[in-house]
Structure 1
């Protein structure tokens, strides 16, 4: 597995694990500095491993059919849950998430910098098994109280990028963290099935990158690729796309405000 981490950064402390895929200087994020700064050797290793992973997953960029059970090439979880303790349990936030709440309104069209994405496919289901694959993941979802999976697939205006927004409604934060551990491809536990919007190759056959974050009792996942799984110029390119696709997570700030744990306005800080 490729983890999208800063293993070559000179700022990394001795004995410290690689820094996460996401930079701290993007809006709405408060973790330590996580810019992806590959050194020459680390970058070369990452590219070689990424190409091998693409070949193992069936190649990308040729518009062929994607495998039914697909995994991201690069995956980074964030277990911190900082700022969401007020909704760490569903007991404080019992109302189911509607499609309009998570994927309606401003979430139908996402714009940031040079990127514009339109919602091309969506699904909200209470059948967590139908939206996933893998016996271990499905077992943990059932055992740990999954009641909904929200999925939205976005296509860029130039059709060069496809992004998946996924939110999983769990009973509590501990369940969220276990699901994030399951999603590590090294476990073989399974993954969430992507949606395939019309007009672009099926998702997941080539290079893709995913990030999962703890939002109280929700797992929020962004999973992105160049259309057809073409190898990106750098993981920084995937970072920028992923931060746009994460915007529908604003619904969680609305939930936080409703229980009195937010800053008001139903938007991220």
Structure 2
């Protein structure tokens, strides 16, 4: 099922500052839909820029000073061998929600799919592969405490209001350690709750987000550019947040779209629940 790239639901929603929307502009993982707009501002596109000799000399001098300072700190603190901790409050740079939920309407309410998610289901995808990408599961958590797995009072309030009883969180790292993908499933009482949570997750609202797990062996997510995609799977909200390891800006959003589609394959277990519901055996 391919991801549509639409705008947030509701014509009456409050107008908010412009945020980058992660749109398809010819991704190799999705059918082409026209070129679309380049998401980089004209004065901030990736590429080489030439600087004057004076600026280069000044930058070099500043770099030497920074290196000296870093060496001094390492000598005084014992080398700084501890792995960087994951920042708690991470918001994506780009965000695209899909409120449609096409194909999952038969489990739009938890009453049609009452069995809780098991660890065997949630973490069955130990590896994820697609053209040009290979990811392995690096960290995972299944919690019934939706408040503890998230940050932000507004988001936490809506999670309680709409019956959140489970949050699945996984972190995947690519074989070449160049990309990190976070996968989240939020189990809510019904589809209306899912739509509200997807609105809360818009970074412009600053309502909160799930706390991302730290994947061993790569920098913690949150220091740079990241792109998130949120989809409606019946009474489940499914989120992917992807980035180049360390947060470097990609050449285009197509790269982020391709990576996110690989990570979203971790949601395949929800299709099994859909099949059970369609046969009238929700597995209470």
Interval containing the TM-score (normalised by the shorter chain): 0.7 to 0.9
Q: Which residue does 2:101 correspond to in 1?
A: 81
Gaps of 5+ in 2: 8-19, 46-82
Aligned to 2:199, what secondary structure does the other structure show? helix
Task: Give the distance between the partners of 1:19 and 1:261, measured in 2 at CA.
Answer: 38
Which residue matches 1:38?
A: 37
- 1:183 correspondence with 2:201: yes
Once the two structures are TM-superposed, the CA of residue 21 in structure 1 deviates from its matched residue by 2.6
2: distance between equivalents of 1:159 and 1:260? 40
TM-superposed deviation, 1:245: 0.3
- Please report the TM-score for the alignment, with normalisation by the length of structure 1: 0.77
Deviations 1:169-198 (A, max 9, x none): 000000000000000111121111111111
Once residues 21 and 32 of structure 2 are traced to their aligned partners in structure 1, the CA distance between those partners, rounded to angstroms, is 8
Report the Cα distance in structure 1 between the residues aligned to 2:34 and 2:87, rounded to whole angstroms: 32
Retained in 1: the 8 A contact 2:27–2:258? Answer: no
Q: Aligned to 2:247, which of 221, 224, 229?
A: 229
Q: Contact (CA 8 Å) 1:144, 1:175: kept in 2 or not?
A: yes
Cα distance per residue 1:195-233 (max 9 Å; x no partner): 111100111211000000000000000100000111111
2:187 matches 1:169: yes
- What is the CA-CA distance between 1:83 and the residue it aligns to? 0.9
Q: Equivalents in 2 of 1:257, 1:223: separation in Å?
A: 27
User: Aligned residue for 2:259?
Assistant: 241
Query: Deviations along 1:60-85, whole A, 9 cap, x unmatched?
Result: xxx96553211000011100011111
1:121-158 Cα distance to aligned partner (Å, 9 max, x none): 00000000111000000000001100000011000000
Quote the residue 2:23 is aligned against. Answer: 21
CA contact (8 A) 2:86 2:213 kept: no
Aligned length: 228
The alpha-carbon distance between structure 1 residues 259 and 47, as it changes in their structure 2 partners (threshold 3 A), is farther
Q: 1:172 to 1:35 in 2, by over 3 A?
A: farther
Rounded Cα–Cα distance in structure 1 between residues aligned with 2:141 and 2:34: 32
Asked if the contact 2:25/2:35 (under 8 Å) is kept, the reply is yes
Query: Per-residue deviation at 1:19?
Result: 8.0
CA contact (8 A) 2:168 2:185 kept: yes
2:96 partner SS: strand
SS at match of 1:80: coil
Cα pair 1:66 1:205 within 8 Å, conserved: no
Gaps of 5+ in 1: 8-17, 49-62, 263-269
Return closer, same or farther for 1:175/1:100 CA change in 2, 3 Å cut-off: same
For the 8 Å contact 2:106–2:234, the answer to whether it is kept is yes
3-state SS of 2:164 partner: coil
Larger radius of gyration: 2
User: Where has structure 1 moved over 3 Å in runs of 4 or more?
Assistant: 4-7, 22-27, 32-36, 45-48, 63-67
Cα distance change, pair 19–131 in 1 and its aligned pair in 2 (3 A)? closer
Alpha carbons of structure 1 residues 144 and 36: separation in structure 2 relative to 1, 3 Å: farther
Q: Give the superposition deviation at 1:33.
A: 6.9
Q: Distance in 2 between matches of 1:130 and 1:88?
A: 25
Q: Contact 2:21 / 2:95 at 8 angstroms: preserved in 1?
A: no
In 1: Cα distance, 2:28 partner to 2:106 partner: 24
Pair 1:259–1:5, CA change in 2 (3 A):
closer
